[in-house]
Each structure stands twice: as structure tokens, then as C-alpha cells.
Amino acid sequence: MNHLNDFFSRYPRCALGFSGGTDSAYLLAAAIGLGADVQPYFVRTAFQPEFELDDARRLCGCLGVALKVLDYDILAVPGVAENPRDRCYFCKRAIFSLISDRAAADGYPAVIDGTNASDDVDDRPGMKAVSELGVLSPLRICGITKDRVRELSRELGLFTADKPAYACLATRIPAGNAITGEDLQRVELSEKAMTALGYRDFRVRLTREGDARLELPEGELLRAAAERADILKALGPYFRRVTLDLRGR
């Protein structure tokens, strides 16, 4: 906390790229607790499921801060819908350029994100874009790891403390396969159906043929096999074929 205090003493007014996830939730709560003026921005695109925005709004409500939601047609950004291997570069650059422009107009000179010290930034094209735009990552700068973020979040009573990590819906589409709104919706609805069955840490990924490959932690593979009929019923409306990845997440 002392390190974050130093950071926010230097940057007392910041715009936060806010996802509603564990990292950005803790960063926002810590900043407010330290007396910083931090404005969270949630960029709503086809890549974010609705529950992420719901969580972002809920967290901001708990902290008494207004969330600004920016709508953006991410599939219209060149280099995104085509889904190359460095798609995240084009996506992150577009999203944080939007946040930076809005932040400047709103009077916030610095833009921050929730990247933590456990994140491997060397192999993430999106982090290259964020760095190029001058976005700062206080958690990473201060050496705060993911485990520490969860621990500190529990101390603050944040409901996001044990929230599973959640990558955007575009990561469910194989690189090289064009991303469509229809496929993103299929993924979102199918993962919502799995959540309704009581699963939490999982992914429903599309194969190159457009079928579904279900990824679950190794400890839940036997459960999934036993609940095969329920899973097929839940995912049947969205996919012709569903396979279970036996390697586990």
C-alpha cells in the first residue's frame, strides 16, 4: 500500500481502464482509499459479456464512484475482426486510445490499467500497445502480484477477490478465423448456460470447424462426464458438436 501511496501521490488524477475484474477492482478501491481522484472507464464492445459490465457497475456502486461506459464497435477496427495472432495489439490500442481521448477531455492527464506483477507482458501484444500509449500499470510498477491482489481484496471486503480470471470473448475464436458477432454471441450464451449449471472456471472455445471445445479444471472432468446430458442440453442450442478437453485447464 505504501508503494501505491507513492504512485498516487505522483499521479493524483487518473483515468482507469476498468474491466470489473479482480485487478482493476482492487486498484480502484485502493486508489480511492488513498484519496486519489480516479475515474473508471468501461469500454463496452462485443468482446465483453454482459456480466462483466454488471460486476463493474456493482463494484463502483459499492465504492461510491460513477462508472463511465463508452460504447465501441471493436469489430470495425482494422486488424481485429480478421483475427491475426497479434489481434490484441490492435484491440488494446483502439480501446486505450478511446479512453485516453475521453480522459483528456474530462481532465485526467494520466491513464492506468490493472496489469499486475504476475502478468507476463513480454508475450502479450496488447501490452505492447498499452505501453506505446503511455498507459501506466501501478500494480506492476509496485510489484503487487495476483495472489497479493486477491489477499488485499479480501481484506477490503471486495466481492471480486476470488473472481476467476476472465479473458475477452475473442480469445475463444481460433487465430486466423474471422471473428463475427454471431460467434461471439454463441460463446457468451453458452458460457452463461454453463455458469447456470454451477461451473465457474471454464472456457467454451470454438474449433476451426465452428464446434465447441469445453475446457474445465482437471478436478471437474469427472463431474462433467457424469453431467454429460445436462451439458449437451445447455450447449445444444449453440453448437452442433461439443467435445471435452481431457487435458484440463
Confidence (pLDDT) at 122 = 64
Residue 35 has pLDDT above 50, yes or no: yes
Contacts of range 232-241, beta carbons closer than 8 Å, 24 or more positions apart: 234/190, 234/193, 234/194, 234/196, 234/197, 235/190, 235/193, 235/194, 235/204, 237/189, 238/186, 238/189, 238/190, 238/193, 238/212, 239/186, 239/190, 239/210, 239/211, 239/212, 240/210, 240/211, 241/211, 241/212
pLDDT tens profile 187-237: 999 999 999 999 988 999 999 999 999 999 999 999 999 999 999 999 999
Residue 60 has pLDDT above 70, yes or no: yes
Q: What is the pTM of this model?
A: 0.91
**CATH level 2 (architecture), domain 2-156:** 3-Layer(aba) Sandwich (3.40)
Confidence (pLDDT) at 187 = 96
Residue 2 has pLDDT above 60, yes or no: no
pLDDT tens profile 85-102: 999 999 999 999 999 999
Confidence (pLDDT) at 123 = 63
Sign of the alpha-carbon torsion through 214, 219, 222, 224: negative
Confidence (pLDDT) at 120 = 74
CA 37 – CA 176 distance, rounded (Å): 41
Mean per-residue pLDDT of the chain: 94
Question: Average pLDDT of 104-129?
Answer: 88
The pLDDT-based confidence of 119 (bands split at 50, 70, 90) is confident
pLDDT tens profile 170-194: 999 999 999 999 999 999 999 999 9
pLDDT tens profile 141-175: 999 999 999 999 999 999 999 998 888 999 999 99
